[in-house]
C-alpha cells in the first residue's frame, strides 16, 4: 500500500474513477447508444422497403412487357387472319374476273396493312402511356421517401423527358 502511495496511486481516486466510468458508460449507453441503434434500425427498414418497392416496380414492368408482347402476338395473328382472308377473297374474285381481282387484292392488302399499323400504333401508344404513368407514380413514391422536394422535382422532370424515349 505504501508503495502505491509513493507512486502517487490512491485507491480512493481509482474507485472514484471506476464509478465515474461506469456512470458515464451507463449514461452514454442509455442516451446515445440505444437511440443510435434505433436510428440505424429505422434506416435499415427504410432501405429494405425501398428495395422491395424497386423489386415490385421491376416485376410490374416485366408484367407490362409480357402483356405488350402478348398484345403484339395477338395483333400479328389477327394480321395473319386478315391477310389470309384477303387472299381467299382475291382467289375467288380472280376466278371470276382476273383483272378486277388483282386491283381488289392490292386495295385490300394496302388497307389491311394500314389498319394493322394503326392498331399497332394505338396499342403501343396506350401501353407506353400506362407504363410511363405507372413508372412515374412508383418513382415519385420512392423519391418522396428518399429525396428532398427539389431533388424529386428534378428527377421527375428528367424521367418525364427520358422515359418515353427509352420505351420506344
Reduced 3-state DSSP string for 138-154 = HHHHHHHHHCCHHHHHH
Residues 110/29, Cβ–Cβ less than 8 Å? no
Residues 134/65, Cβ–Cβ less than 8 Å? no
Please give the pLDDT value at position 52. 96
Query: What percent of the chain lies above the pLDDT cut of 70?
Result: 93
Residues 75/116, Cβ–Cβ less than 8 Å? yes
Q: How many domains does the chain have?
A: 1
Please give the pLDDT value at position 167. 63
Q: Which domain holds residue 36?
A: 2-167
- Interval 97-147: pLDDT, tens: 788 867 888 999 999 999 999 998 888 888 878 877 887 778 777 766 677
What angle is formed at CA 64 by the lines to CA 60 and CA 70, rounded to 5 degrees? 145
Which has the closest alpha carbon to 71: 3, 126, 134?
Answer: 126
d(CA 142, CA 120): 32
Residue 67 in this model has a pLDDT that exceeds 90? yes
Query: What percent of the chain lies above the pLDDT cut of 90?
Result: 46
Residues 108/89, Cβ–Cβ less than 8 Å? yes
Amino acid at each position: 500500500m505504501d508503495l502505491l502511495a509513493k507512486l502517487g496511486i490512491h485507491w480512493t481516486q481509482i474507485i472514484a474513477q471506476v464509478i465515474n466510468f461506469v456512470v458515464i458508460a451507463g449514461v452514454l449507453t442509455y442516451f446515445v447508444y440505444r437511440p443510435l441503434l434505433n436510428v440505424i434500425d429505422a434506416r435499415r427498414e427504410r432501405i429494405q422497403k425501398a428495395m422491395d418497392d424497386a423489386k415490385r416496380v421491376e416485376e410490374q414492368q416485366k408484367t407490362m412487357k409480357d402483356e405488350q408482347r402478348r398484345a403484339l402476338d395477338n395483333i400479328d395473328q389477327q394480321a395473319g387472319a386478315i391477310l389470309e382472308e384477303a387472299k381467299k377473297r382475291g382467289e375467288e374474285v380472280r376466278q371470276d374476273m382476273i383483272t378486277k381481282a388483282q386491283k381488289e387484292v392490292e386495295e385490300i392488302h394496302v388497307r389491311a396493312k394500314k389498319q394493322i399499323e394503326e392498331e399497332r400504333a394505338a396499342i403501343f401508344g396506350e401501353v407506353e402511356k400506362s407504363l410511363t404513368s405507372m413508372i412515374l407514380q412508383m418513382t415519385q413514391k420512392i423519391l418522396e421517401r428518399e429525396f428532398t422536394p427539389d431533388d424529386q422535382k428534378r428527377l421527375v422532370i428528367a424521367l418525364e423527358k427520358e422515359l418515353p424515349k427509352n420505351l420506344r
